[in-house]
Amino acid sequence: MTTKIQIVVDEDGSGQRLDHYLAVRPELIAQSLSRTRIQSLIESGLVWLDEAPALVAKTKLRAGQIVEIDVPEAAPAEPLPEKIPLDIRFEDDFLVVLDKPAGLVVHPGAGHETGTLVNALIAHCGESLSGIGGVKRPGIVHRLDKDTSGLLVVAKTDAAHQGLSKLFADHGRSLPLTREYLAICWGAPDRSSGTIEAPLGRHAIQREKMAVVPEARGREAVTHWRLLEKFGADREGKPVASLIACELETGRTHQIRVHMAHVGHPLLGDDVYGAGFKTKAKQLSPEAQEALAALGRQALHARALGFEHPVTGEELLFESAPPQDFARLLDALRAE
């Protein structure tokens, strides 16, 4: 599909280079066309000046000239295989379950075109990797944030992808699915367990963040939690931090991080949703403060993943022990 754009050169454009003039035109900025991309379109014969191909980017313009640009739809860049070590817990001809380390991005995106889990999977699985999820998301049916560690399942065939996608879309309501996370949170709930039901959507101002929003503007989000441990005590005798198990009934972006912050217990190390709690670190022991600084991320780990195999029907359940940085923080908090 090609987008056609026509521009009549105004007085301000008279005497300007073709590429310089086009690079600041609102019509092309709206298409996210950089000057480099515009120069490429010119060299490819996709820019016309008074119905003749304009093949030279530095052509000087005159007021009243008509510029026509054919903008082809951008083809997604195809991720390349990369030899990145994977901690594989299970693999057959249809799917692979792995333990993702913190710091590894799941699929390519802005600022992360290489070095992702997808690049590693392409190298590991080769041609068998399912492409039904799109060029940049082959086999991916759910994801973990870059700085969240733990268990993830990836489809290797279209049949497995369709089955897993249906399973995750069902959120475990009528099909068997277990997703449990460990979260180290500031403070501690007054009860031993509970459920957070609060719709999530994009933050009204900070668009890179998620937020609890009115039902009409958000998507249903449900998190079940259990209090596992309490750590330390502040001046009022209340716990400084706690270990909480969170089970997802829905799987929205940043769901646990937003929900726990919403009820007043953001995750330790979460600079996005727990920035206002940074000063609480002073209430921790020196050892715990050092462990938190070394963690350098939100204290969230995908501990358990269970589901019915989409092809064989086998009941599968996997568990993952917290990684060293997470475990070190836990040990320091237990010693408070």
Q: What is the pLDDT of residues 19-65, one digit of tens each?
A: 999 988 888 877 777 777 888 888 888 898 988 888 888 999 999 99
Residue 74 has pLDDT above 70, yes or no: no
Tokens of 148: 């969240």
- In contact, 155 and 294? CB cutoff 8 Å: no
Phi, psi of 283 (to 5 degrees): -85, -10
Q: Which of 32, 120, 110 is nearest to 79 (CA)?
A: 120
DSSP assignment of 91-158 equals E-SSEEEEEEPTT--SS-BTTBSSSSHHHHHHHHHGGGS--TT-TTSTTBSS---TT-EEEEEEESSH
Residue 75 has pLDDT above 60, yes or no: no
- In contact, 277 and 262? CB cutoff 8 Å: no
- What CATH superfamily is the domain 172-336? Pseudouridine synthase (3.30.2350.10)
Give the whole-angstrom CA distance, residue 87 versus residue 160.
20
Give me the CATH code for the 76-170 domain, please: 3.30.2350.10
Domains 76-170 and 172-336 equal at CATH topology level: yes
Residue 77 has pLDDT above 70, yes or no: no
Report, as residue numbers or ranges, the catalytic residues: 145
The pTM is what? 0.77
Task: Say what percent of the chain tops pLDDT 70.
Answer: 97
Over residues 45-54, the pLDDT tens digits come to: 889 898 888 8
124-130: average pLDDT: 81
Give the full edge-to-edge strand order of the sheet including 2-8. Answer: 2-8, 66-72, 47-49, 52-53
Spans of all domains in the chain:
2-72, 76-170, 172-336
- Topology adopted by domain 2-72: 3.10.290
Over residues 78-100, the pLDDT tens digits come to: 788 999 999 999 999 999 999 99
Q: Which residue has the higher pLDDT, 172 or 312?
A: 312
Handedness of CA 69, 75, 80, 85 (dihedral sign): positive
217 band by pLDDT with thresholds 50, 70 and 90: confident
